[in-house]
Amino acid sequence: MLRFALFYAALLTGANAAMAADPGVLKALKTGEMKQLAVHATPKPAGAADFTDREGATHNLADWRGKVVLLNFWAVSCVPCREEMPSLDRLESEMGGADFAVVPVAFGYNHPGGLARFLTNYEIDALPVLLDPDRRLSAQMGVIAPPVTMILDREGREVARFIGGADWASDEARAVIRAVIDG
């Protein structure tokens, strides 16, 4: 009975442990490539700038609120991005859904023809094509050059950051993502 009283008291005061990943758990999962993952002691606010898709529709990170998001900044000209994009596509194909989404945002100007060739050459078909040509979102997120990947919790806050390319479909990366999903 006391356990339920404490739980409801925490909800009433705004502390919802079920919505936040435990930084200690995430740090314990930093193995393999994920050793480079910077886990924040407390979640950080994410950028609020709008970005677009190829058709010109406006999007915002708030569109994915309620899901854990793997936010990736990439560019057609970025060699590590070319290596990691297929793993992001696999991750979205296998884990994307009601609880999780990979949100790749093209950093800066990416020529439409080059973008189309990139997607075709690397067989990227599960990911949305999102653009930040004026770098407003990436600037708000502190991205200087791609690739940079952030993990956002269900409330849209940054809980971890990875600078550089990674195999996001690896067992180590999936374990980290699953820990945030399970909160």
- Each residue's pLDDT, cut to its tens digit, for the chain (183 residues) gives 433 333 333 333 333 444 457 877 888 888 889 999 999 999 999 999 999 999 999 999 999 999 999 999 999 999 999 999 999 999 999 999 999 999 999 999 999 999 999 999 999 999 999 999 999 999 999 999 999 999 999 999 999 999 999 999 999 999 999 999 998
Exposure on the CB side of residue 31, measured as CA atoms within 13 A: 8
- DSSP H/E element including 116: helix 112-121
* Residues with Cβ within 8 Å of residue 114, at least 6 apart in sequence: 76, 77
> In whole angstroms, what is the distance from residue 126 CA to residue 12 CA?
39
Question: What pTM was computed for the model?
Answer: 0.87
- Res 156: pLDDT: 97
Homologous superfamily, domain 19-182: Glutaredoxin (3.40.30.10)
Q: Domain limits of the chain? A: 19-182
CB 144 within 8 A of CB 73: no
- Res 12: pLDDT: 35
- Identify any residues that bridge with 102 across adjacent strands, giving them in sequence order: 70
> In whole angstroms, what is the distance from residue 34 CA to residue 37 CA?
5
Tokens standing for 39?
């886990």
What is the residue whose two structure tokens read 């708030």? 62
- Res 31: pLDDT: 85
